Amino acid sequence: MAQCQTRLSTEIGVNNPAFSSFDLKALELHSLSQKCHISIQIGLNGLSYCVRNDKEILGIESYEQSLSQVENVIKENDWLNMDYASSNISITTKKSTLIPSTIFSNENKKDLLKLNHRKIEELDILTDDISIIDSHCIYGISKAEQDIITTHMPKSTVKHFSSRYIPHLLSENKNFDGQKMVVNVSYNQINISIFAHSRFIYYNVFNYKNAQDCIYYILFACEQVELNPENMTLEFMGNISKDDEIFTLAYTYVRNVEFSQRRVSISQNIEKINPHTFHSLIHQHLCE
């Protein structure tokens, strides 16, 4: 059997991932149910996951699919139907809000979510405690998402994307003495987080269609917290490269632009990817 299996595609179908690379030889040597772990991100725009042991990432795969196709992906994907030592899922739904613990009430979670989102009547409302910022994340997931998790991943630990992402960013930037905006670029969506002298001050999610949309939201976020783009560091992660128009345009408005650095090891037999690519996914397990 080959040492490494890799697939990168521009024609996306149910059985055709946008990216796929595994160290098959290393995975064959492990008992998945005892030595390996899986991290999954799932939402309206698709699904991605990685498989790791205690030392390094051994496989990564990503699908840019509508939610209606995600269940078929799971049914037909052998890796997603294995038993692992642990499994964690991040829900990437945009229908979420952060509420300070001082005003949070589980009984009123639906009303609190309504403050920022409409049409939540058909959603199952869940909450996560984010103690590091003394807040709760309230989020709604559809019946379809809930059914997928309950049916195919019943043993997984489920949290909202921000409930793991924000603590991870705080840990990464605990010694950063300045102002930083972190932009996580995914398929048709960006997550914007802002830190000032290691203190978390802003988080929001925006859908986008082009690079101009992304720059608009970056500058909009700066305006909301009265942050001068000339005086901050803009850090990109996710599905973006130096050749992308988003990155090029960013330099027009921001003096210091850089990419996130990886803190987790990846098998040398997996196709080489940029240190900032799949950053939130491969660091997801660090905030369990």
The residues facing 256 across adjacent strands are 233
Q: Cα(209)–Cα(187) distance, rounded to whole angstroms?
A: 10
- Please tell me the pTM assigned to this model: 0.91
**What tokens does 267 get?**
């098998």
Give the helix/strand (H/E) hosting 161: helix 161-172
| Coil/strand/helix, residue 132 | helix
Report residue 209 CA to chain centroid gap. Answer: 19
pLDDT on residue 30: 92
Intra-chain end-to-end CA distance of the chain, in Å: 34
DSSP code of 28? Answer: H
Q: Which domains does the chain have, with CATH numbers?
A: 4-90+264-273 (no CATH), 175-259 (3.30.420.260)
Q: Do residues 288 and 157 lie in contact, with contact meaning Cβ atoms separated by under 8 Å?
A: yes
Task: Return per-residue pLDDT of the chain as tens, 288 residues.
Answer: 334 555 443 343 456 899 999 999 999 999 999 999 999 999 877 899 999 999 999 999 999 888 788 888 999 999 999 999 999 999 999 999 999 999 999 999 999 999 989 888 889 999 999 999 999 999 999 888 898 899 999 999 999 999 999 999 999 999 899 999 999 999 889 999 999 998 999 999 999 999 999 999 999 999 999 999 999 999 999 999 999 999 999 989 999 999 999 999 999 999 999 999 999 999 999 987
pLDDT on residue 191: 96
pLDDT on residue 119: 86
pLDDT on residue 15: 65
235 to each of 103, 129, 135, 251, how far by Cα in Å?
A: 32, 26, 24, 12
pLDDT on residue 272: 92
Q: Which of 279, 287, 277 is nearest to 19 (CA)?
A: 277
